[in-house]
Amino acid sequence: MIKFYNKLLLILTTVTVVSFLILGFFLHNSSYDLISKQQKSLLENNTQKIYELAKKNPQNLNEFMKVFNEDILLKKNSKIVYRTSNAETKIFNKENDKVLTEAKAYNESFIISRDKKEIIYAKNFGAYQVAIASKSDAISIIQQDIWKYLLIVLFFTLPLIYFVVRYINTSYIHPINEVTYATKLLASGKYRVRVPESNVKETKELFINTNNLARTLDDLNNEQKLQRNRLETTLENIPSATLMIDRNGVIVIANKSYHEIFGSAGNVEGNKFQDFMPNTEISNMMNEALKLEKPLYEQVELYINNVHNKFFEVSAIPVLSRKKRNLLGLVVVMHDITQLKKLEQMRKDFVANVSHELRTPITSIKGFAETLIDGAKDDPDSLNMFLNIILEESNRIQSLVQDLLDLSKIEQNTTLPKERISLTEIGGYAINAVLNSAEKKDIHIINQIENDVFAYGDKDKITQVLINLLSNAISYSSSSSEVILSIKDEGDSQVISVQDKGLGIEKHEMKRIFERFYRVDKARSRDSGGTGLGLSITKHIVEAHHGQINVESTVGEGSTFTVRLFNA
């Protein structure tokens, strides 16, 4: 492809040469016509003078004719009256007789012979016929001079054209090419490109505006990257699974939570959401939101990997243009509300359990009080028995309320004041506190407490932990068995272990034993007077000390509860 510089040079050169040729042909023909008219006028005047001389002074004609430099032929009544004899010209030979013939026919005749450089003019004056001729190369000389000067001018014009085109190329074309190249780089995303500013007034503004455009695009690109990084950072760090979908249903962005929750392998961006949305209900909801262009909200239950049952609050929100005329895409947020659902269920269970735990002793108190009112108070034995039962049920209610208050305080205060305490002393005190309950069931408590075991914690709360664990072990142990309390120091931590020889716990129940009011054997626990809050309180106290509690159990052999308190 010919460059613009060469094309411009070729066009201007061609136009100039053609213009000079046209001008040359015009001047060539114009000079011929102009000189011919001048020659004809001159010869016409001379023929008029010759006719007048021949008419007035025919006797002295030879003397007068010497004045004229041209060849002259004078006829009267077709007879030659006078004729010059010039050896240099043979204008009146047979070849040029036609001028006389034409003069007879048309009264005058004018002929120019370019090759012979001869000019002949003839005219009739009644009986006289005058023909005059001369040698003249003025036309050819002038025409040659015209072409010569045109070629000289053209010779100096062509270099001038070259320098003009070079100047145009340097001052205008080259800067425009630079701007064109810069705009191509800008279009490809290279916004840091700049063009050197020109000194030419006409292109300087173009260069300045191009650089301003590049800076503006660079700033906008940086701002867009910043906004995108903020958006991606926000999306990647929010716990809700989030999808951004374009108007065609293609996934544009899927955050980390989506991949973690749904376990999608590989990159889902650039694919249809129907191929990567495992739940049909959510997929239909997204399709409906795209069609209606209205936000939709639903709670959906999902089975992740056919194992985990989870609840999600799904929001499908269409993204519309600024004037809300065109649909740009869809944002889908799936917020995991499984814990909320569990908490809601726990709240319902808690209310039901508390109501049940309170209803039983209250019913007993009310029944025995009504029996006493109906007359049983008159029987001393019945009176004492009923009052003792009412007292026991009241103590049971008081114990339940106290446990609820303790659990509420522990939950509200996630950290407890710590001091250096002796686990050896606390273990001995806890054994003495439950010794009476153990003796009633003929259960032997084995003391495996090391000497001088110290930890950092709340003395009263750690004491409550040991009493709860020992009481729980005694309650679920059969008569004439044993419970082992072990406390030892492992350097970076202190380990408290309570082992019983009771019923044991089923594997599926082990994760629920720390829930409020949950009982492995509900009948046995209620008969033992427990509230169902002991292990829950124990777990919260241990966690408030930043410790760990776990359980190992074998059905029919017993259970071992282990508490680990750390020094840090």
- Mention every residue, 6+ apart, whose C-beta is less than 8 A from residue 23: 150
**466, 557: one domain:** yes
- Does 65 lie in the same domain as 129? yes
DSSP structure class, residue 171: I
Please give the distance of CA 310 from its chain centroid, rounded to a whole number: 33
Q: What DSSP element (H or E) covers 285?
A: helix 280-292
544 plus 439 within the same structural domain: yes
Task: Say yes or no: 359 and 480 in one domain.
Answer: no
Return d(Cα 245, Cα 253) in angstroms, integer. 7
Residue 62 belongs to some domain of the structure? yes
3-state helix/strand/coil string of 200-223: CHHHHHHHHHHHHHHHHHHHHHHH
Amino acid 412: pLDDT: 63
φ, ψ at 492 (rounded to 5°): -85, -5
Q: What is the DSSP letter of 137?
A: -
Domain end point (choices 389, 411, 433) = 411
272 in the same domain as 347: no
Quick one: tokens of 260? 């973690």
Instruction: Give residue 169's Cα distance to chain centre.
Output: 40
> Is residue 288 included in any domain, yes or no?
yes
- Specify whether 311 is located in the same domain as 322: yes
- Residue showing tokens 């010779």: 155
67-73: which pairs have CB atoms within 8 A and are 24 or more residues apart? 68/132, 69/134, 70/43, 70/46, 70/132, 70/133, 70/134, 71/132, 71/133, 71/134, 72/130, 72/131, 72/132, 73/100, 73/130, 73/131, 73/132
Residue 416 has phi, psi (to 5 degrees) of -115, 150
* Residue 76 CA neighbour count, 13 Å, CB half: 8
Give the pLDDT score at 557. 85
The CATH number that applies at residue 23 is 3.30.450
Report the CATH number at residue 365.
1.10.287.130
d(CA 50, CA 65): 8
Task: Evaluate whether residue 517 is within a structural domain.
Answer: yes
In a domain, 199, yes or no: no
The conformation of residue 128, written as its DSSP 8-state character, comes to E
Return the number of other C-beta atoms located less than 10 Å from residue 38's C-beta.
Answer: 11
Residue 515: CATH number of its domain: 3.30.565.10
Region for 41 from its dihedrals, namely left if φ exceeds 0, alpha if ψ lies in -120 to 50, beta otherwise: alpha
Give 448-470 pLDDT, tens digit per residue.
Answer: 988 988 998 888 888 888 988 89
Q: What is the 3-state secondary structure (H, E, C) of 537-556?
A: HHHHHHHHCCCEEEEEEECC
39, 91, 377 from 46: Cα distances, Å: 11, 17, 181
- Integer-rounded Cα Rg, in Å, for the chain is 63
- Identify whether residues 40 and 66 lie together within a single domain: yes
What are the b/e assignments for 208-242, b being 16+ CB within 10 Å? eebbeebeebbeeeeeeeeeeeeeeeebeeeebbb
DSSP state for residue 170 in the 8-state scheme: I
Instruction: State how many domains the chain has.
Output: 4
Residue among 541, 560, 360, 567 at smallest CA distance from 458: 541
Could you tell me if 425 and 314 lie in one domain? Answer: no
Report d(CA 519, CA 532) in Å as an integer. 6
- At residue 496, the pLDDT reads 92
Residue where a domain stops, chosen among 360, 381, 411: 411
Question: Is the Cα torsion angle 512, 513, 514, 515 positive or negative in sign?
Answer: positive
How far is the C-alpha of 365 from the C-alpha of 372, rounded, in Å? 11
Query: Has residue 296 been placed in a domain?
Result: yes
pLDDT digits (tens, 9 = 90+) for 275-305: 777 778 888 888 888 888 888 888 888 776 6
Coil, strand, or helix at residue 120?
A: strand
Could you tell me if residue 184 is inside a domain? no
Same domain for 440 and 533? yes
Q: Based on the fold, state whether residues 435 and 502 are members of the same structural domain.
A: yes
d(CA 280, CA 288) in angstroms, rounded, equals 12
Instruction: Judge residue 140's burial from the number of C-beta atoms within 10 Å of its C-beta, 0-12 exposed, 13-18 middle, 19 or more buried.
Output: middle
Read off the pLDDT of residues 213-224 as tens digits, 9 standing for 90 and up: 888 888 888 888
The parts of the chain modelled with pLDDT lower than 70 are 1-2, 61-64, 85-101, 103-105, 114-116, 198, 263-266, 304-308, 346, 349-358, 360, 399-400, 403-404, 406-415, 516-532, 568
Please name the residues in contact with 157: beta carbons below 8 A apart, sequence gap of 6 or more. 16, 20
Question: Residue 199 has which token pair?
Answer: 């000194």
Alpha-carbon distance 526 to 475, whole Å? 10
Give Cβ neighbours of residue 520 (< 8 Å, ≥ 6 apart).
476, 503, 505, 506, 509, 513
Same domain flag for 474 and 561: yes
Q: 411, 426, 443: which is the final residue of a domain? A: 411
Evaluate whether residue 224 is within a structural domain: no
Say yes or no: 276 and 351 in one domain. Answer: no
| 329: three-class secondary structure by DSSP | strand
Return the beta strands (E) in 165-323 as ranges: 241-246, 251-254, 296-304, 308-320
Q: Can you give the residue range of the structural domain that contains 359?
A: 342-411
φ, ψ of residue 81 to 5 degrees: the values are: -95, -40
* Enclosing H/E stretch for 138: helix 138-168
d(CA 169, CA 165): 6
Residues 383, 484: Cα–Cα separation, whole Å? 41
* Residue 216 falls inside a structural domain: no
Q: Report which residue type is found at 285.
A: M
The CATH number of residue 316's host domain is: 3.30.450.20
